[in-house]
A and B are shown apart, each in its own frame.
Chain A
Amino acid sequence: MKHLNLKVKVWRQKNASAEGGLVEYEARNIPEDASFLEMLDILNEQLQEKGEPAIAFDHDCREGICGMCSLSINGIPHGPSATTTCQLYMRHFKDGETIFIEPFRARAFPVLRDLMVDRSAFDRIQQAGGYITARTGSAQDANAILIPKPAADKAMEAAACIGCGACVAACPNGSAMLFVGAKATHLNTLPQGQPERNQRTLAMVRKMDAEGFGNCSNHYECEAVCPANIPLTVISQLNRDFVKAAVSESVQ
């Protein structure tokens, strides 16, 4: 197997209130079949051997499904391939290359330490409206609610969002419209989501604004980096749903 020697410039920051900066390290002997996170694991071992503090970064499943991994790699959230950072392999890089590794940057995503950012604003947006109310008790027959195939497909596509926040990091405005668009479209498209549709849309957009995300100005950088291929049409659907909801709220 081929091995790589790399220079990495990593954002180091002690805690949320400390000033951070880029620090250069040599990552030696990295197998090209290692994932990007495994490269950081190897680098961390090398650092710890020297008695230096390990680089903090987020990760969990390492299978591309949980949305926990982040990192802006050479300026692109999740780096050069159309996947999550945990599914990015070192064969995408050249021997001797310098790689910039920085956090997912936005005002609404404050840095906690090194490469870890606080993405709990997403959870709060979800709590504001990203749910349906269902009665408890025995589940009804699965076929009792008919769902047109196009609606099922559209909802499924939007539901693929893993909430990683790459869209916010890629957006020059730090806007969360792709995430909120996906979460709202997912439920707004299904029959089960109809009773709370307007309320959901208003609550999620208002929470999004309150959390300090920017405004979408249709740059579409979000769509280009999304590891779950969420299409920007969820944003136009959100734009439509929000105004419908706002108007109907005002005439109630």
Chain B
Amino acid sequence: MKFLASFYGSSIGKKWVVALTGLMLVGYVVGHLVGNLQIFAGPEQINQYAAMLHSMPKALWVIRAVLIAGLFLHVFTTLKLAAENKAAKARQNERRASTAPKPAKKTMVLSGLVLLSFIVYHLLHFTVRSTDPRFHSLPRGEHDVHTMVILGFQNPLVSGFYLLSVFLLCMHLSHGLQSVLQTLGINSKSLRDTLNKGGQTVSWILFAGYASIPVAVLLNKLTVVAP
């Protein structure tokens, strides 16, 4: 307990908390995509997958609880660090220049907060299902994820916000992934370029994966299949 308090009280300790929870959330982002992409294999496949997850409610709730706690720690600790950083640079020079500029770095907090609002909306939309009454009477019953997702994304506003959010997510990760490794002490002169490029490549592959679903729906490549 004393260890945790002094660890969290230090600058590097807090950064480790952000990095470790970030890593966990990336793991979820990858796993979630693997689940989502099954929509291209037809209603049986993805609906079965959803039913399988719901067949173990205890495990599901443990995972959800861990993810929510991780997300909370990630956001809370980052905001704490950001506030401390602001205070450490209370006064700014009139002329400021950046010698290592990258939009993704400067917007980590902003992209993160937009993502947070997206996550809340996304959960209300597809998990709690409180935004769309059609989701309460799906043709194949409660676990008809296939129909639900396609109906949801047929609304261009929903798809648009989703695309914007996954774009911000991947921008967040394009800096975040290598940042996590640097914070956890996994970096060296010889690894550096590989880790940088690797992080960016993984981010944009994730973007392509996530974006493919609403785009396919909007282009009518994915349509509701009658049971």
Contact = CB atoms under 8 A, between A and B. Distances in A.
B226 interface: no
Given A174-B88, A214-B88, A231-B189, A239 B12 contact: yes
B85 A215 contact: yes
B11 A215 contact: yes
A74 B97 contact: yes
A233 B196 CA distance: 13
Nearest to A213: B88
A243 B85 contact: no
A100 B97 CA distance: 11
Interface in A103-127: 103, 105-108
A197 B82 CA distance: 30
B93 A233 contact: no
B192 interface: yes
A103 B94 CA distance: 10
Interface stretch (B2-10, B38-46, B135-143, B164-172): B2-10
Q: Is the interface of B mostly helix, strand, loop or mixed?
A: helix
A237 B189 CA distance: 11
A220 interface: yes
Interface stretch (A29-37, A48-56, A58-66, A221-229): A221-229
Nearest to A75: B97
Contacts of B55: none
Contacts of B90: 107
A235 interface: yes
Q: Is the interface of A mostly helix, strand, loop or mixed?
A: mixed
Contact of A212 (B88, B179, B187): B88
A239 B98 contact: no
Contacts of A173: 85, 88-89
Greatest chain A CB density within 10 A among B3, B10, B92, B192 is at B10
Contacts of B186: 236, 240
B111 to A, nearest CB: 13
B99 interface: yes
Give the contact-size bracket for chain B.
35 or more
A75 B96 contact: yes
B88 A246 contact: no
A212 B88 CA distance: 6
Contacts of A224: 99-100
B112 to A, nearest CB: 12
Interface stretch (A87-95, A129-137, A202-210): A202-210
Contacts of A218: 105, 175, 178-179, 182-183
A74 B175 CA distance: 27
Nearest to A110: B91
Interface string B71-95: 0000000000110110111111111
Interface in B160-216: 175, 178-179, 181-189, 192
A240 B90 CA distance: 29
A76 B99 contact: yes
B3 A250 contact: yes
Greatest chain A CB density within 10 A among B14, B94, B105, B106 is at B94
Given A105-B92, A239-B185, A215 B14 contact: yes
A174 B85 contact: yes
A107 B100 contact: no
A160 interface: no
A78 to B, nearest CB: 10
Contacts of B2: 250
A179 interface: no
B11 A102 contact: no
B15 interface: yes
A49 B110 CA distance: 52
B5 to A, nearest CB: 11
A72 B92 CA distance: 11
Given A236-B188, A240-B184, 20 more contacts: A106-B89, A107-B90, A173-B88, A209-B10, A209-B11, A213-B11, A215-B15, A215-B84, A215-B88, A217-B105, A218-B182, A218-B183, A221-B100, A231-B189, A232-B187, A233-B188, A236-B183, A236-B185, A240-B186, A242-B12
Interface of B: 2-3, 6-7, 9-16, 81-82, 84-85, 87-100, 105-106, 108, 175, 178-179, 181-189, 192
12 contacts: A105-B93, A209-B11, A214-B89, A215-B14, A217-B85, A217-B108, A218-B179, A221-B99, A233-B189, A236-B182, A236-B185, A238-B12
